[in-house]
Amino acid sequence: MLTSIFGAFKAFLKRTLQRLAVYLLAVFVVSPLTISLAFAEQKLVAIEGRTMGTTYHITWVAKSSFTAEQTANLQAKIDLRLLDINQAMSTYIPNSELSLFNKTASGTAQKVSAQLYRVLEMARKISVQSAGAYDITVGPLINLWGFGPDKRVTKAPSAEQIAAIRKRVGYQHLKLLADNKIKKEADLYLDLSSIAKGYAVDQLAKIVADAGFTAYLVEIGGELVSRGLKPQSQPWRIAIESPIAGRTVQRVVRVDDVAVATSGDYRNYFEEQGRRYSHIIDTATGRPITHNLASVTVLAENCALADGLATAFLAMGVEKSYLYAIDNGIEAFFIIKGKTGFIEKMTPGFAQRIVQ
């Protein structure tokens, strides 16, 4: 079983940099001679802010009469919702629901909010369907290898250290009971950083849609949802970053009416005696993975699912991930480390969205 999630803030910031492998191309060009009356009555409204150790950006198509005060009111709702999500799922807020549960002893049952329970359900479903490649309990192993908040190590831990920590890892030790109650049957430490951003994107998109907007793009730290089209029926587009140093663009992709998430392993690692250790951990061994998948971008019906699957796919490797994607109707784009450079592989549906 393979897995990858980030244990805490420091690793989460690094992971955010990786996952900013997807960034927005929200620029469109039109000739003044072709601006229609309908276009003249529309405008793009954009807001931004900070959350979850990264930034959020939201752009939507509004009537030209939409005011700055209305924009501020909508952003206030968005910021309040983000505070609520963080209070439920953050591992760096000491009194968040998740932090309080993490502090409880093995055998403890605790009632949690409906939204936290729902995200735990989604995480468990991905864990089961990916045969454990996705696991929100892997934080202690992430920390042991120096990719968590404790410290940055440059030496691999001993076999004895790995064996001791593995006893604290395993999604099957978390029980989801009736009435929004959860129970740990081991000394678990849960970390939802591999799905919470995606869930937050979905929730912010709902706020924008409930406000009456049908064309928008919502993004948090590179994870995003888009709906509808920009003015003059232009599609939303994103650029997928190449693993090559210098933040060059690998591909430009049309992403109308879809959720997108990206995960990569090409920035967060350390080297010892000429060997590179990735932050992606194989929980079957307690050691970093050794396959050659550098980055994966996933398209899905919602961003929580895309977020979790991007993490799972990166842990699984390209062969297993590609088969999973085909069998389950998931569109995905893989960048693979070859002997002389990077190789692309993508599902047929993803190929249809390639712009350049």
Nearest by Cα to 18 from 218, 275, 169, 193: 193
Where along the chain do its domains lie? 9-88+195-351, 98-184
Superfamily assignment of 98-184 in CATH? ApbE-like superfamily (1.10.3980.10)
Cα end-to-end distance, the chain, whole Å: 35
What 3-state class would DSSP assign to 204?
A: helix
- DSSP assignment of 150-196: S---SSPPPHHHHHHHHTT--GGGEEE-STTEEEESSS-----TTTH
63: helix, strand or coil: strand
Higher pLDDT among residues 140 and 279, named by residue: 140
Output b/e per residue, 296-312; b: 16+ Cβ within 10 A.
bbbbbebbbbbbbbbbb
The label of the residue with tokens 């696991």 reads: 135
- Kindly list the distances between the CA atom of residue 219 and the CA atoms of 26, 140, 153, 164, in Å, as whole numbers in the listed order: 12, 29, 32, 39
In terms of Cα–Cα distance, which of 191, 177, 180, 185 is closest to 111? 180
This prediction's pTM = 0.86
Domain range 9-88+195-351, its CATH number among 3.10.520.10, 3.30.2350.10, 3.40.50.2300, 3.40.30.10: 3.10.520.10
Mean residue pLDDT across the chain: 86
Contact by Cβ (8 Å): 245, 218: no
The reported pLDDT for the residue numbered 27 is 38
Instruction: Count CB atoms within 10 A of the CB of residue 207.
Output: 17
In which band, very low, low, confident or very high, does the pLDDT at 119 lie, cut at 50, 70 and 90? very high
pLDDT tens string 57-114: 999 999 999 999 999 999 999 999 999 999 999 988 999 999 999 999 999 999 999 9
